[in-house]
Amino acid sequence: MSDRKLPPGGESEATVLPTRQRNALRLLLNKASISPQEIAALDIRVIERAPGIGRKSLDLINTWLESHGCALSGVPRLTLGNRQIQRQRKLEQAIELLRGSGYEIRHSR
């Protein structure tokens, strides 16, 4: 059991957007109150450019949206497998570039 207090109304922490992120989004939309649906309708690039929003804030906003059955739009869908494939392709391109420039590529063991 956690010592943390639940927000008023008994809501879990995931369903309540922290003050900093809530204020940044209210400022972005120029509204006194915001809904998860309004935020989910925005593209992630718009939210990223809002003052006071960084990687951590985006994660908190995304968690908040998910707790309300919504999701940020425009989020890249890279998975670990895709990242590995992308990294492998870049490595192969670099090797081909070096070979094309006359370098000999050997595997280290």
pLDDT tens for each residue of 44-97: 889 988 888 988 999 899 999 999 999 888 776 655 566 777 888 888 899 889
pLDDT score of 11 more than 60: no
pLDDT interval class at 6 (50, 70, 90): very low
**For the chain, which residues make up each domain, given as ranges?**
11-67, 77-109
Amino acid at 62: N
How far apart are the C-alpha atoms of 5 and 56, rounded to whole Å? 22
Residue 39's pLDDT is 93
pTM: 0.59
∠ at Cα 33 (32, 35), nearest 5°? 155
Residue 23's pLDDT is 94
Task: Write out pLDDT tens, residues 21-32.
Answer: 999 999 999 999
Residue 13's pLDDT is 57
Closest CA to 40 of 15, 79, 75, 16: 75
